Homo-oligomer: A and B are copies of this chain.
Amino acid sequence: MADDTTGQDSAPAGVRAIALYGVGLINGSLGLALRARGFDGRIIGIGRRECTLQLAANRGAIDSYATTPDTVAEADLVIVGTPVDVTASVLGDLAEHARPATIFSDVGSVKAGVVAECAARLPAIRFVGAHPIAGSERSSVEHARAELFDGAKCIVTTGPQADHGATAVVRWMWEFVGADVMAVPPDAHDVLLAASSHLPHVVATALMHVVCGKAYDGVPAARLGGAGLRDTTRVALGSSDIWTPIVTSNSEPVAAMVERMADELAQLASRLRRGDVTAVGAWLERGRELRAEITDDI
């Protein structure tokens, strides 16, 4: 996976200013991480809400900020951190003010749509899709931290139309802040993330609907939950403003994984109802082994 930018610890020629559009948890952490690791160029915040930008500046995640897109003219690299359903439209607005050489990227959890939309509607833009697999159920810049990407996987999309110069710059940036960069085509990304991230999110949400619907003689089941229920459902605390666009813009792969999960559970219910202790035990043990195998990986 290494290429000639791997391990490079100063910015590639020309990257003297990075603009972060939408300074939430991810872009806020990116700003903090760039600074902490010694990026000596400018970091500019752009967004709609001045109070958020002010907070980001106070925390040191950005050097300056603006609420108007024309400020993007000052940036060599622009990272869009918005809900995935508005990324393409934000890129369109920003592109009008950017210089031709400016490189754009994003941090969204769904990649095929935005990559295709850019290719179709914004063919002149130098866009590279990216997705740092890091985050938390808390989306605001106040929870941002410089270490968020340490050792995290970061996918940079690849494909026959890739802009290799722009890709090298985006790769450099994520490696610079500590991420382990992988090149994956946009469609593959979406199928893999439907399984590894979008499915766990909707499963946690479904658990809350099911568990909170259960009570017995006035005692709500959720009241008897321990650390198991708490951890299994933590991600359901994620903002629905962020997650609704993710799962609905990746609806086919997510629906397929959700149906696969429903089927797995239906099979378990059937084994339980026919009292097949051996099959249930083997299924639990295999699940334990699979979980033990991935512990160090994720």
Which A residues have a C-beta under 8 Å from some C-beta of B?
133-136, 152-153, 155, 182, 184-185, 188, 191-193, 195-197, 199-217, 219, 221-240, 243-244, 247-248, 251-252, 254-255, 257-266, 268-269, 272-273, 275, 277, 280-281, 283-288, 290-295, 297-298
Residues of B contacting A197 in the complex (Cβ-Cβ under 8 angstroms)? 224-226, 228-229
| A297 surroundings in chain B (CB, below 8 A) | 222-223, 225
Residues of B with C-beta under 8 A to A264: 206, 209-210
B288 adjacent to A238 (CB under 8 Å): yes
A229 to B233, CA, bound (A): 11
Q: How far is the CB of A175 from chain B (nearest CB, A)?
A: 17
11 contacts between A and B (CB under 8 A): A133-B224, A133-B226, A191-B216, A195-B221, A204-B287, A205-B291, A206-B261, A206-B264, A236-B291, A251-B275, A262-B269
Closest-CB distance, A263 to chain B (whole angstroms): 8
Bound together, the chains give a CA A239 to CA B223 distance in angstroms of 24
Q: Are B255 and A298 in contact (CB under 8 A)?
A: no
Q: B237 contacts A254, CB within 8 Å?
A: no
Q: Please indicate the chain B residues that have their CB under 8 angstroms from the CB of A213 in the complex.
A: 260
Indicate which residue in B236, B237, B262, B281 contacts A240 across the interface (CB closer than 8 Å): B281
Q: With contacts A191-B221, A196-B214 known, what are 8 further pairs, Cβ within 8 A? A: A133-B225, A134-B226, A135-B226, A152-B226, A192-B214, A193-B221, A203-B265, A206-B287
Task: Tell me, rounded to whole Å, the shortest Cβ–Cβ distance linking A60 to chain B.
Answer: 24
Minimum CB–CB distance for A262 against chain B, Å: 4
Q: Please give the distance in Å from A283's CB to the nearest CB on chain B.
A: 7
Contacts of A155 in B (CB 8 A): 224
* Nearest-neighbor residue (CB-CB) of A214 within chain B: B195
